[in-house]
């Protein structure tokens, strides 16, 4: 069968079912093998986080392990200025991180293919990335931006794992200063809530009206602790009686013995009254 003389359209984006655009990835300019990235505009109705604006965020699948955040940022910077790159093991909502930890105190990241969220400064960058030709691969390692692999990569990771004691002390001191500051803010907040929920001598609590349009706040932590302590004091006042079977049995025996004693006392009192009766009609 003679081959078809019809030429496929070149320099055109490749769109697959699901709305994903295929981008070719090539490690080096002289590499033969290519890797495929699947990009799509991030549109999730449940996404309420401002860190991923729906009109400027690109969702990327199948990011290889040799492409960390810095490399991914450089690759997609040709489509526009990149504001943020977030790589994760699985797609999901943005996780608000608490205190920022140094890389020396973070657990080792899992090695494998990642999913990414790339936030651009301009929404036009999304269109530029989706319209990139499929036949023009993105080159990962260049002379201006070399990416180490193999033994060189492990040597670099081993060298970077060491840290000077002075630098480590600075990181620890900075973290502890932030920690003390957060604790002081929490203590002041709890103190203010305790003052607001404080009862007067007659047991009344002062309730103030908040700004217009604000929803009613739930009970504060200080108020919950106070109510819990009050319940504990109530339980301590009450004596636990007849909890066990032997307690109930002993209580019944004591009650019967007391009734018998009272019955004998009443019999003696009646006999004494009969003996002292002086009225004799005949």
Strand partners, 138: 25
Q: Report the pLDDT value the prediction gives residue 189, as an integer from 0 to 100.
A: 85
Q: Report the pLDDT value the prediction gives residue 134, as an integer from 0 to 100.
A: 82
CA–CA gap between residue 25 and residue 31 (Å, rounded):
10
pLDDT, tens only, 10-56? 577 888 888 888 898 888 888 888 888 999 888 876 666 667 888 88
Tokens linked to 118: 């790339």
Q: Global pTM?
A: 0.54
Q: Report the pLDDT value the prediction gives residue 263, as an integer from 0 to 100.
A: 92
CA–CA gap between residue 88 and residue 51 (Å, rounded):
15
Measuring CA to CA, which residue among 193, 196, 195, 192 is closest to residue 207? 196
CA–CA gap between residue 85 and residue 59 (Å, rounded):
10
Measuring CA to CA, which residue among 141, 145, 146, 134 is closest to residue 29? 141
Interval 66-71 mean pLDDT: 86
DSSP secondary structure letters along 44-99: -TT---TTS-TTTEEEEEEE-TT--HHHHHHHHGGGS-EEEEEEESS--PPPPP-S
| b/e 135-148 (16+ beta carbons within 10 angstroms → b) | eebbbbbeeeeebe
CA–CA gap between residue 187 and residue 185 (Å, rounded):
5
CA–CA gap between residue 138 and residue 145 (Å, rounded):
13
């Amino acid at each position: 069968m003679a081959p078809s003389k019809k030429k496929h359209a070149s320099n055109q984006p490749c769109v697959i079912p699901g709305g994903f655009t295929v981008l070719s990835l090539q490690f080096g300019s002289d590499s033969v093998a290519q890797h495929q990235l699947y990009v799509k505009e991030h549109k999730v109705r449940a996404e309420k986080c401002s860190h991923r604006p729906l009109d400027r965020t690109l969702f990327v699948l199948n990011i290889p392990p040799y492409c960390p955040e810095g490399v991914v940022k450089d690759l997609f910077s040709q489509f526009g200025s990149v504001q943020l790159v977030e790589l994760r093991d699985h797609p999901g909502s943005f996780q608000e991180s608490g205190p920022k930890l140094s890389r020396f105190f973070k657990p080792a990241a899992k090695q494998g293919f990642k999913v990414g969220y790339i936030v651009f400064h301009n929404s036009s960058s999304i269109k530029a990335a989706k319209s990139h030709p499929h036949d023009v691969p993105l080159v990962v390692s260049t002379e201006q931006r070399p990416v180490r692999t193999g033994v060189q990569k492990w040597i670099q990771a081993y060298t970077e794992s060491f840290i000077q004691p002075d630098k480590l002390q600075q990181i620890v001191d900075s973290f502890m200063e932030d920690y003390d500051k957060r604790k002081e803010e929490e203590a002041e907040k709890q103190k203010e809530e305790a003052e607001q929920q404080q009862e007067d001598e007659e047991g009344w609590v002062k309730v103030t009206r908040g700004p217009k349009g604000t929803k009613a706040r739930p009970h504060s932590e200080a108020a919950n602790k106070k109510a819990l302590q009050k319940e504990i004091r109530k339980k301590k006042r009450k004596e636990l009686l007849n909890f066990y079977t032997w307690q109930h049995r002993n209580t019944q025996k004591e009650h019967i013995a007391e009734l018998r004693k009272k019955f004998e006392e009443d019999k003696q009192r009646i006999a004494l009254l009969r003996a002292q009766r002086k009225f004799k009609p005949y």
